[in-house]
Amino acid sequence: MDFPTHLFFTEDHEWMSALSGTVKVGISAYAIEQLGDIVHIDLPEIGKTFETKDPFGTVESTKTVSDLYMPGKGKIVEVNADLLNSPERLQEDPYNKGWLVKIKLDSEVKDLMSAKQYESYIQESA
């Protein structure tokens, strides 16, 4: 399983492209594998603000519906509309074309895991 080294991960399996500025947020390939076939994605409106760990949307699969949690405090500046129309694209490329939202962070994010730490976290949790 692939965990790009330039990304940062949460214990809830979201990823973030950087720790400050305007960043992309998505969910990991591991989470997608656990979900199975994705059939629907619900994402927030542009301009909405979130605190760290606030739920900001859902991913629905043939198995379950899972909440998405914001990895940092900030404001939604873009939503990946392609995924809303074709949620299966998330499974095809979760780290590039499969980003969910872009947020402008209010402050630098701390307490996220590197790709190596995240991989260890998954192995320990299994």
Domain ranges of the chain: 12-125
Instruction: Give the pLDDT score at 2.
Output: 76
CA gap 112, 65 in Å, rounded: 24
Contact present, 108 and 20 (Cβ < 8 Å): yes
Instruction: Give the pLDDT score at 1.
Output: 72
SS3 19: coil
7: number of Cβ within 10 Å? 21
Distances in Å between the Cα of 73 and the Cα atoms of 80, 84, 107 are 19, 23, 7
Fold of 12-125: OB fold (Dihydrolipoamide Acetyltransferase, E2P) (2.40.50)
| pLDDT profile of the chain (126 residues), mean per 10 | 91 95 96 92 97 96 94 97 91 93 94 96 90
Dihedral pair phi/psi, residue 49, rounded to 5°: -110, 150
Instruction: Give the pLDDT score at 79.
Output: 97
**Please, how many CA atoms are within 13 Å of residue 10, restricted to the half-sphere of its CB?**
21
The number of helices, as runs of H, and strands, as runs of E, in the chain is 4, 9
Helix (H) or strand (E) segment spanning residue 61:
strand 55-61
Q: What is the pTM of this model?
A: 0.94
16: number of Cβ within 10 Å? 21
